[in-house]
Homo-oligomer: A and B are copies of this chain.
């Protein structure tokens, strides 16, 4: 009758439960926020026993760290896809705010933000996340190529502004009763960047005297 209920290989099983836990964690974080994201809830939503979860992620901090890392990998791919065939730095900068909105306003982006924010409440998680965080910021900066190699500080300021403006707006969106209207602000940001490029404030070559 039924196919041999072939047990999957170990690696497959591991990957399966980790994937299920990842999705469930993202969903829970997106929906209920960090404070209400207990490991029990996540395991239950993932359809995984608490024992299994505990085997894969010994502590809650481990699970959260995994989520941050996994989502970041996925985000990088998404950025890369958006930027494919966009060589002009100015064009990249112009597209950046809407790109970032696409990437960061998704449930996974909100989930990561919840974790970052929530990490402040858990020293253990905090120190596990510290290296990941700096690595992310470095890679994000290198990846965007927003400025000439020389001006790290200016490029960092611009990148941070855009990223955190978008993150802020993504909070506004989940908090707002009518989520749609937030995107207007993203467009305003894009226009501001256009204006900045026109007037030379955002020269992609240098960003000296801030």
> Which residues of A approach B to under 8 Å, CB–CB?
32-37, 113-114, 116-122, 130, 133-134, 153-154, 156-158, 160-161, 163-169, 171-172, 174-175, 177, 181-182, 184-189, 191-196, 198-199, 201-202, 210
Contacts and interface: CB of A to CB of B under 8 A. Distances in A.
Contacts of A122: 35-36
Contacts of A156: 181, 184
Contact of A169 (B32, B160, B188, B191): B160
B133 A175 contact: yes
A161 B166 CA distance: 9
Contacts of A174: 120
Contacts of A185: 157-158, 160-161, 164
B202 A187 contact: no
A199 B199 CA distance: 8
A120 B164 CA distance: 20
Given A116-B175, A164-B165, A199 B201 contact: no
A192 B184 contact: no
A192 B188 contact: no
A138 to B, nearest CB: 13
Contacts of A196: 191-192, 195-196
Nearest to A185: B161
Contacts of A37: 121
30 contacts: A33-B117, A33-B119, A34-B121, A35-B35, A36-B122, A116-B171, A117-B171, A120-B174, A133-B175, A134-B177, A154-B184, A156-B181, A157-B181, A157-B187, A160-B172, A160-B182, A161-B165, A161-B169, A161-B188, A163-B168, A164-B168, A164-B185, A166-B168, A168-B168, A188-B210, A191-B201, A192-B201, A194-B199, A195-B201, A196-B196
Contacts of A191: 196, 201-202
List of 5 A-B pairs having minimum Cβ-Cβ separation, nearest first: A168-B168, A164-B168, A36-B121, A165-B165, A157-B184
